[in-house]
Structures are given as structure tokens and as C-alpha cells.
Amino acid sequence: MNRNAYDLIRFVLRRLLQSLPVLLGIATINFLFVNLAPGDAADVLAGEAGAASPEFMAALRERYGLDEPLHVQFLVYMGKLLTFDLGYSFRFSRPVTELLLGNLGPTLLLMTTAILFACSMGVFLGVLAARCVNRWPDYLISVGALIAYATPVFWLGLMMIVLFSVKLGWLPSSGMQSIGAGYTGWRKVLDVAQHLIMPATVLGMYLTAFQVRLMRASMLEIGEQDFVTTARSKGLSEQAIAYRHVLRNAILPMVTMVGLQVSAILGGSVLIETVFAWPGLGRLAYNAVFQRDLNLLLGLLFLCSIMVVVTNILTEVVYRLIDPRIPLK
């Protein structure tokens, strides 16, 4: 193992250890805020059962440990959390960890596809806008990015369903797979890809609006630096300067922005997964909130916190891989 790989591994391990107190603090805040909201699982179950006698409510609260004082519930929750036990979902009658792992894959697939779409479109359109600055392609791309940023994602998702599913019949309107089709192999992959196109595009367009503007600004700023002037004086073409020198440095802020936008992506996935009935964490969070399934909701919030922390660590690693001059601290 060379020195750089050793330093990289040591950096990742150090960041993970430093993140443990942060995650515990986030778990504490999540627990307090979730329990400040009125109502609990017993209220939901009693309402569904049509029986809300004091004895029935007391039995439900005792069954789910809701009759204990808040500080006792907190200590029990933190004790289980330290042993990687996220509790039991009363709504789905399954362990929370099992539910989260079962819905994590679709959300990661949706997020990864949306990020790749946003980054590729952001680089392409941002570079094009920078090279055509103050000309009609620049104006057109800037206006398009502004419209994409201002358009609500749920409205855009509904309009895409109306156009591409209802009117044209090109794409499936909801779900992750065709129900009852029983596809296997590459036919199943193609079916999932067809269901993924619209939700990933809608989520990715929101991110693209940021990336295009950031890439354009970075290209213009770096294009005025001294090393670019030196490259021009050596006789390099503008295309070679743009793609071999400017682009590599201009892409660094985009990497940072992706790391910062993970929390926004997770928030947006709640709307997208609800509109398109995508079976991921966002839709699970929607159900957990309305059903007052506190164990499931706390597990979701904690998992999202882990995803944000891990993504920020990966962002620093990618930063170092793109530009080896950046030290790992």
C-alpha cells in the first residue's frame, strides 16, 4: 500500500470517529423534536380500532412503552441505538432496521441517477454557457436554469405524468416495476429503468439549476487566472485550455455542492417518491409521519443523518482524488 492510499484510509477512519458524537447529538435532537408533537401511536391505533376507552389506551401505551416518562423513553432509545437496534414499527409490524434496508436500495438508485444526471447536464450546459458568455446560448441556458429552479418538483412530476404517461403513453406513471409482469434478467433492468426516467429527471432538474450556474461562474472565474494566461501564451487552443486546464479546476465547487445538497435531495425525494409511488425512504417517511410511527420516523431520520455524514466524507475524498494538491486534514 502506497503512502497516499494509507493517508486516505487514515483520513476516512478519523472522520468517521469524529462523526460519532455528531450522530449522537442529531439522534438526541430528533428524539426531542419528534416527541414534542402531539399524539402518539396509541392515538392512531385507537382511532382505527374505533375504541378509545381509557383502559384500551393505557394498554396500548404500556405495550409500546409510551407510558414511561420522556427521559426514561430517551434512555431506552439511546441504549438501543448504541446496540444498532432501531426498535419496532407498530404500523408495519416489522423491525425498523428491516424496513429501512428494504427501502434503502430504491432511494439510493433514485438519488444516484438524479445526481449523475444533474452533474452531467450541469457540466455540459455550464461549460457551454461560459464559452458563449453574453450570447444567446448563455441567455437561453440561464433562463432555463432559473425556470427549473423556480418550478415546484411535485407540479413538474404531475405534468410529466400527464404528458408522457396519460397523453403519449411512453412511460409508466408510477411504481418501480410493472406489477405482475414477472420480468427477469435484462428485461427487469429495462423495466426498472423505464420507471426510473421520470422521477430521476424531475429530481435531477432541480439540482441541475444549481450546477449550471455554479459551473458557469467557476469557468469564468478560473478562465481569468494567471495559469490560463500562461497556457494561451504558449499557443494552446481555446478548446484545449477549456477542457484540459479550466474544467478540471472549475469542477471542484460542483463536488462540494453535491455534498451539501444531499440533505435537499433527501427532502425532495419525499415529494418525488410520493408523486410517483416510488417504494423508497421518502415514501416510508411520509407514511411514518401521518401514522405517528415514531420508531420508524426516528430510524429514518437517523439513517438520513448517516447518509449526509458519509456523503460529506466521500466529497472530501473525491476532492483529493481530483486535485492531489489538496491536503487531507
Q: Mean pLDDT of all residues in the chain?
A: 79
Task: Tell me the pLDDT tens digit for each residue of 301-316.
Answer: 888 888 888 888 888 7
Domains of the chain, by residue range, sit at 19-85, 105-322
Task: Tell me the pLDDT tens digit for each residue of 287-302.
Answer: 787 777 778 888 888 8
Nearest CA among 32, 84, 41, 86 for reference residue 60: 41
CATH of segment(s) 105-322: 1.10.3720.10
Measured distance CA(54)–CA(201) in Å, rounded: 50
Between 66 and 303, residue with greater pLDDT: 303
**In the beta sheet, which residues pair with residue 88?**
95
Between 1 and 222, residue with greater pLDDT: 222
Res 219 pLDDT > 70:
yes
Measured distance CA(74)–CA(88) in Å, rounded: 15
CB atoms within 10 A of CB 166: 9
Please tell me the predicted confidence (pLDDT) of residue 111.
86
Please tell me the predicted confidence (pLDDT) of residue 105.
86
Q: How does residue 230 score in pLDDT terms, banded at 50, 70 and 90?
A: confident
The letter for the amino acid at 296 is: L
Whether the Cβ atoms of residue 163 and residue 70 lie closer than 8 Å to each other: no
Measured distance CA(173)–CA(278) in Å, rounded: 10
Nearest CA among 83, 59, 60, 61 for reference residue 72: 61
